[in-house]
Amino acid sequence: MRSVLADPAVEADRKAGLLKSIFGTLDTAASQVLTGAVSSRWSTPGELVAGIEELGIRAIAISAGPDAGIENELFAFSSTVSTDHELELAVGSKLGAPEAKAALVDALLAGKVQPATLVIVRHLVQSPRGRRIGQLLSGAADIVADAQGAIVATVTSAVRPAPAQLTALEKALATRYGRSLRINLIIDPTIVGGLRVQVGDDVIDGTVASRLADLRIRLAG
């Protein structure tokens, strides 16, 4: 089915008919969105699936509102998973049953996060498509922020910065990129001091560990 829906040689009307025959119970809005998606040009069936997934996450983010804090909850869960190998294996293993993963997510998050966050995480653990759980959660958080007109800055620090420092950094980055900002803070004592800031593909590395590594390279040369 993916191959047919992503095939540019197949007429849009035929694709729409296939969708209607399989997903006839969808409401009008969802049906229109899917019809628009399959009518677009995709390089591979995988890209089509990824595109539909992104549309779903965007719709959830928009319906939850700009103050829901979904991206923060996704980052928090990602941080928890990354520091617990057994949990990471339980929710990210290719061998785990999707239903069991969803049940575990429910047990961990139900009633503790926004319903929208729970829906997104449940989907991601059941449909990883070869991706690591940390990558899934980080990518979803970026999509949520973008849907709300913001961008995510991942800030790595040896210790937790003072609130005033984070506020100043947020304002400076928002001015630089011309958009409101969401900060994903990671505490990593191994960087010794300073900050590492990543916004999309841009990286500003002002950590002590980075400067020491540069110094070693110069001395070795």
**What tokens does 121 get?**
């995480």
Whether 72 is in a domain gets the answer yes
Range of the structural domain that residue 15 is part of? 1-42
Whether 96 is in a domain gets the answer yes
Backbone φ and ψ for 153, nearest 5 degrees, come out as -115, 120
Per-residue pLDDT reduced to its tens digit, 78-89: 989 988 999 999
Q: Are residues 15 and 63 in the same domain?
A: no
Q: Are residues 143 and 63 in the same domain?
A: yes
Whether 47 is in a domain gets the answer no
Q: Using CA atoms, how far apart are residues 186 and 76, in angstroms rounded to an integer?
A: 10
CA 199 to chain centre: 13
Q: Are residues 68 and 139 in the same domain?
A: yes
Q: Which amino acid is at 119?
A: V
121 close to 132: Cβ distance less than 8 angstroms: no
At residue 210, the pLDDT reads 82
When divided into structural domains, the chain yields a total of 3
CA distances from 101 to 33, 133, 140, 209 (A): 28, 12, 18, 37
24 confidence band (pLDDT: 50, 70, 90): confident
Q: Are residues 186 and 208 in the same domain?
A: yes
Whether 170 is in a domain gets the answer yes
